[in-house]
Amino acid sequence: MSENTTTRRSRTHVSCTVNGDQVDFLADDGTSLLDALRDELDLTGAKEGCGTGDCGACTVLVDGRINCSCLMFAPEAEGCDIVTVEGIAEGDHLHPLQQTFLEGAALQCGVCTPGFLVSAKALLDENPDPTETEIRYALAGNLCRCTGYDKIVRSVQEAAVQLRGAAR
């Protein structure tokens, strides 16, 4: 086999905020933000379901907006504020979406759940009282193959009610 295993790859130093913490890591220029989160920071909540931005399992917030982290190069995260599913709860306190997903059985296998939670949080941050149609379109970039979406949509509706109650 190859003796030439010490080839240097050029790596970029990236400095950003992830779930409120200042972090630094090195990334190849071609590394996706998703791979950096998973392999460099061991934040494996975001998943790769397709690698082409079609399934939403890798969804994270970048400066408050939802992003498919598989489509973003890690060096592009320089200076950004990134939130992953691991950063949604406040300490031991689950976010209302996490709680309503549990109570409403909105997950079966659970592999798409991190992406749905991040997308749903972005929706409710923007629109605290969405219609069912607005929820369905806001989540249309996230694929779930287990649930038929029924219990996911209902759980988002319930979380919206709870968040509006808490805001009052």
Partner 1 sequence: MTITEDRPAYKWVGTRPIRHDGYDKVVGKARFAADRNFPGQLHGAFLRSPHGHARILAIDTAAAEVMPGVKAVVTGADFPDLPVGNPERDTGINLMARDAALYVGHVVAAVAASTRAEAEAAAAAIEVRYELLPVVLSIDESMADGAPLANPDNRTAFSGSDDPSNLATVTPLERGDVDAAFEAADVVVEREFDTAWVHQGYIEPHACVVDVGPDGRADVWASSQGHFRVRSQTAAVLDWDTARIKVTPAEIGGGFGGKTTIYLEPVAALLSEKSGRPVKIVMTRDEVLRATGPAPASKSRIRIAATNDGELTAIDGWIGYAVGCTNDMAGFVGAMSVASYKFPNLKMEFVGALTNTPRSAAYRAPSAPQAAFAIESVIDEIAQALDMDPIELRLKNAVVEGDLTSMGGPHPRVGFVECLEAIRDSEHYRSSVPEGAARGIGTGFWFNIGEQSSATVNLNEDGTATVITGSPDIGGSRASMALMAAEELGIDVHRITPVVADTESVGFTDVTEGSRATFATGMAVVNACRELVEELKARAATILGVGADAVEWVDGAAVAADKDPLPLAGITAKAKGTGGPLTVTASLNAGGAGPSFAVHCCDVVVDDETGRVEVLRYTTAQDAGTAIHPSYVEGQMQGGTAQGIGWALNEEYVYDDDGTMLNASFLDYRVPVASDLPMIETIIVEVPNPAHPYGVRGVGETGIVPPMATIANAVSRATGVRLSSLPMSPPKVLAALDER
Binding partner 1 (rule: CB under 8 A), the pick from 64, 78, 128, 145 is 145
Determine the interface stretch with partner 1 among 10-18, 43-51, 72-80, 158-166 (rule: CB under 8 A).
43-51
User: Nearest approach, Cβ of 168 to partner 1 (angstroms)?
Assistant: 25
- The answer to whether 57 contacts partner 1 (rule: CB under 8 A) is yes
Closest to 71 measured CA to CA, from 23, 33, 15, 118: 33
- The answer to whether 62 contacts partner 1 (rule: CB under 8 A) is no
Pairing relationship of beta strands 65-68 and 81-83 according to DSSP bridges: unpaired
Q: Are 60 and 69 in contact (CB under 8 A)?
A: yes
User: Nearest approach, Cβ of 52 to partner 1 (angstroms)?
Assistant: 6
Whole-angstrom distance, CA of residue 18 vs CA of residue 91: 15
Q: Are 65 and 122 in contact (CB under 8 A)?
A: yes
- The answer to whether 40 contacts partner 1 (rule: CB under 8 A) is no
Q: Are 114 and 84 in contact (CB under 8 A)?
A: yes
Q: Are 89 and 20 in contact (CB under 8 A)?
A: no
* Per-residue binding letters, 64-83, with partner 1 (x by CB under 8 A): --------------------
Binding partner 1 (rule: CB under 8 A), the pick from 32, 36, 72, 101 is 101
